[in-house]
Structure 1
Amino acid sequence: MAPKEIYIGVIGAGGVGKCFLSQLESLSKRYATNASSPKLSLVLVSRSTKTLYSEKYTSLRFENLSTKLAESTQKTLSVTEAIEFLAATPAKAILVDNTSSQDVADQYPSALSKGISIVTPNKKAFSGSYKLWQDIFSAAASSGAKVYHESSCGAGLPILSTLKDLVDTGDEVTKIEGVFSGTMSFLFNSFAPLEGSGGKWSAEVTKAKELGYTEPDPRDDLNGLDVARKLTILARMSGLPIESPTAFPVHSLIPKELESVSSGDEFLQKLPQFDSQMEETKVAAEKEGKVVRFVGSIDVAKKEVKVGLEKFDRSHPIAALKGSDNIISFYTKRYGANPLIIQGAGAGGEVTAMGVTADLIKVIERLS
């Protein structure tokens, strides 16, 4: 029997998208050497203003793909048109969304209802309105299409798959706690380290931006919303019908006076005036023999979700994190007093793309 063919469309060819396409090329070559593996055909790649697609569904070549995309004169397909294109493939199709676009996320129910499986690191699809969350999974259930989004929480770390296994096997998750942001991890590990005194808060934020750890406007990290989105996803998977990432307390680290300044650069320029606020928090923790960290927690029994600053004993695993690592602790009935801990790099193009590629393999195995 000739191996099955699976058609793949990719939206988003920037940081994570580039890394993913490189991993997809390696995966396609590996599958091509195994007679029992399906043939993977990349038939569409798009970014905001350019689309490259194969009108007759023959596989696009990976050589010079980013150049070909940049120089493409083909009609730029809207998300709806890209979905229609994939829905008409001769066999099963998978949409890989490497964007963080709400517009693309809003189209997931439509794609899934047409039998197109989805693999994505896009948090907005799963942390937006609770109705969108329900629509996505009911569309997948009715069509049989698959939806995987491991990288929407903690890049390539196996956080969502672990939680799903715990829930599906009947364990009772009582609490989830951790550092869910590589940016916040880096900031607090350098601002309030276990050894030494750390730098001024504004200097550490500036350094984090220069090293590429923050968004172009650091306020997009410091408002805590990125962490709140991840907690929303985890809470929903734990059975809590959280309405949105703004439905629970989220402690923003942006001084009120700087919320409305016009740019990220102006924000960094004025931030030193407010260093004393963070310094006081750090010193208060030190007086108790503790360190301050930016964490998220879900108390499943009490149905409470919160994001903000917490003080930790210096011996606590959260206090001892290095660099921009994430750490997530699952407290469950089975694991008792000692939580199941997942720790490692929670940000970066290669590891995020790895999570996406691993999800793609899972979908291919289920479709083959």
Structure 2
Amino acid sequence: SGMVGVPGTAARLFGALAQAGINVILITQGSSEQSISFAVQPADARKAKRRVEKEFAFELEKGAIDGVRLEEDLAVVAIIGENMRYRPGIAGRLFQALGKNGINAVAIAQGSSELNISVVIARDDESKALNALHEAFFLSDTKELHLFLVGVGLIGSTLLRQIQQQADWLREKSGLEIKITGLANSKKMLFDPEGIAPDAWKARLEADGEPMSMARFVERMKALNLSNSIFVDNTASEKVASFYESILDASISISTPNKIATSSSYLQYQRLKQIAAKRGVPFMYETNVGAGLPVISTLTDLIQSGDRILKIEGVLSGSLSFIFNNFREGTRFSDIVREARKRGYTEPDPRIDLNGIDVRRKIIILARETGLPLEQKDVEIAYILPEAVRNAPSVEEFFKELKAADDHFERMRREAEEEGKVLRFAAVLENGQAAIRLLRVGPEHPFYNLSGSDNMIVFTTERYSERPLVVRGPGAGAEVTAAGVFAEIIRIGNFLA
């Protein structure tokens, strides 16, 4: 406060620096007159601090001004040009480019001539800032995205193929250049700031990859500190998901079909959303529910537009949809489960599907998107498997017990048929409560006409009360899941643009 309204403060400050032979690169002072910030060469920093402290020794001793604070490891970036004068939006574009890449502005200076805007940033962000500004001002028609992929199995490899096939179109029509900068499987990881060709990743990973460590992968990704970075998790790994908080906090966007982070503890779910909002980076997980179907985005649009969700019903498992859609007269339940396993629809142990574990994760995510703080223990599951089947000591024994229970399932099917109904394994969210059970539905219900392995989500809302809003389609499979992740990558790219 000792500086406010006191004439000559700036003259004394810069006079003292001039007498000491210290050149000032940048000066900024707010209209509050509470502080003056200036930049000097790193070699002069400590000398400048001592000289200022000597000049203002009396004021410092009396507490009229605070101590002189020295900040090191900084850099100054500037945009300069005659065409900046009288052109609105230049500063906005500058700070948007920096902000969307997580680059903090320590100090800002602009002269009244409008020929120059200078920004002080952390030295570690210098290259990223230059790249972001270069794109914003000189390559405004092209945006380069840096992708870091973990998981190159069925979904990951399909995503890489889709990126390769669509690369030219995206470059020409959308101005997006997708560069695969890092990728990893469970054994090896590979980084190349110049890009890994999507059609050569497998050979390069095998030949040049180093041993995979998730902690080292994240460390390397952060150290590269590239603009427009996106992390893609194509795994179902809890360990990979445990790094999301650190990744988002580094201002790196995330797209993932991995349900673990968003369906574990509600506290962690909230934490991830809060960090993403704080850092201003997208955290996208549309493919957590319904693969490539627009389920979460539809729910979000309903809520944000002021609609009130009354009920959500969902056949959320492709494997269970296939099983009950094909369970008809003349078929045995155990044979259909075997066929679903053979086609790769179920887990190697089909009990994981039949016990509703995966469905529980999905209905928890949908509930949380509506604002309900649901935990896994809050979801009621009505188990469809008899106890002997559930507790079989091995998969082989499971199928023996399941075959012995065929009559049990046939009775359920026949009872539903006598009522003119069919069986559907579904999750229901209503009045703040979530339950998973085997439903009997008649021709009036949207679930009645389900076929194949389709998912179906039915939203009953105040606006869609008489005729609910229905989202239906393939809810599993590498092609549609990879396409959903690909769409999110493009959306993130458009956001960064």
Question: TM-score scaled by structure 1?
Answer: 0.93
The 8 Å contact of residues 156 and 234 in structure 2, kept in 1 or not, is answered as yes
In structure 2, list runs of 5 or more residues that go unmatched: 1-137
SS at match of 2:210: coil
SS at match of 1:118: strand
Displacement of 1:198 in angstroms is 4.6
Matched residue, 2:473: 344
From 349, 352, 356, the equivalent of 1:217 is 349
The 8 Å contact of residues 98 and 122 in structure 1, kept in 2 or not, is answered as yes
Q: Please, which moves more after superposition, 22-31 or 151-160?
A: 22-31
Matched residue, 1:75: 210
Distance in 1 (alpha carbons) for counterparts of 2:299 and 2:419: 33
Displacement of 1:73 in angstroms is 4.6
Distance in 1 (alpha carbons) for counterparts of 2:436 and 2:254: 29
From 129, 140, 152, the equivalent of 1:13 is 152
Tell me which amino acid in the other structure corresponds to 1:289: G
Where do 1:81-120 residues align within 5 Å?
81-87=216-222, 88-120=224-256
Residue 288, structure 1, aligned to residue 426, structure 2 = no
From 22, 27, 48, the equivalent of 2:161 is 22
For residues 225-274 of structure 1, give each alpha carbon's deviation from its aligned partner in whole angstroms, at most 9, with x where no partner exists: 11111100000001111022x32111233332233434323322331111
Matched residue, 1:247: 378
Matched residue, 2:442: 313
Matched residue, 2:369: 237
Tell me which amino acid in the other structure corresponds to 1:210: K
Distance in 2 (alpha carbons) for counterparts of 1:18 and 1:297: 34
Displacement of 1:79 in angstroms is 2.0
For residues 317-341 of structure 1, give each alpha carbon's deviation from its aligned partner in whole angstroms, at most 9, with x where no partner exists: 2011111111111111112211011
SS at match of 1:249: strand
Where do 1:1-368 residues align within 5 Å?
1-2=138-139, 3-33=142-172, 37-54=175-192, 57-69=193-205, 71-87=206-222, 88-192=224-328, 197-244=329-376, 246-299=377-430, 302-368=431-497
Larger RCO, structure (CA 8 Å, separation 6 or more): 1
Distance in 1 (alpha carbons) for counterparts of 2:291 and 2:468: 21
Displacement of 1:31 in angstroms is 3.1
Q: Kindly tell me: are residues 51 and 262 of structure 1, through their superposed partners in 2, closer, same or farther at Cα, counting changes over 3 Å?
A: farther
The 8 Å contact of residues 7 and 89 in structure 1, kept in 2 or not, is answered as no
Distance in 2 (alpha carbons) for counterparts of 1:235 and 1:198: 38
For residues 97-137 of structure 1, give each alpha carbon's deviation from its aligned partner in whole angstroms, at most 9, with x where no partner exists: 01111111121111001101000111111111111101110
Q: What is the identity percentage for the equivalent residue pairs of Structure 1 and Structure 2?
A: 38
Say what the alpha-carbon RMSD is for the aligned residues. Answer: 1.6
Displacement of 1:185 in angstroms is 0.8
Displacement of 1:4 in angstroms is 3.6
Tell me which amino acid in the other structure corresponds to 1:349: A
Distance in 1 (alpha carbons) for counterparts of 2:286 and 2:333: 32
Distance in 1 (alpha carbons) for counterparts of 2:488 and 2:330: 39
The 8 Å contact of residues 189 and 217 in structure 2, kept in 1 or not, is answered as no
In structure 1, list runs of 5 or more residues that go unmatched: none
The 8 Å contact of residues 163 and 198 in structure 2, kept in 1 or not, is answered as no
Q: Kindly tell me: are residues 198 and 53 of structure 1, through their superposed partners in 2, closer, same or farther at Cα, counting changes over 3 Å?
A: farther
The 8 Å contact of residues 143 and 176 in structure 2, kept in 1 or not, is answered as yes
Asked which structure has the greater CA Rg, the reply is 2
Distance in 1 (alpha carbons) for counterparts of 2:271 and 2:412: 42
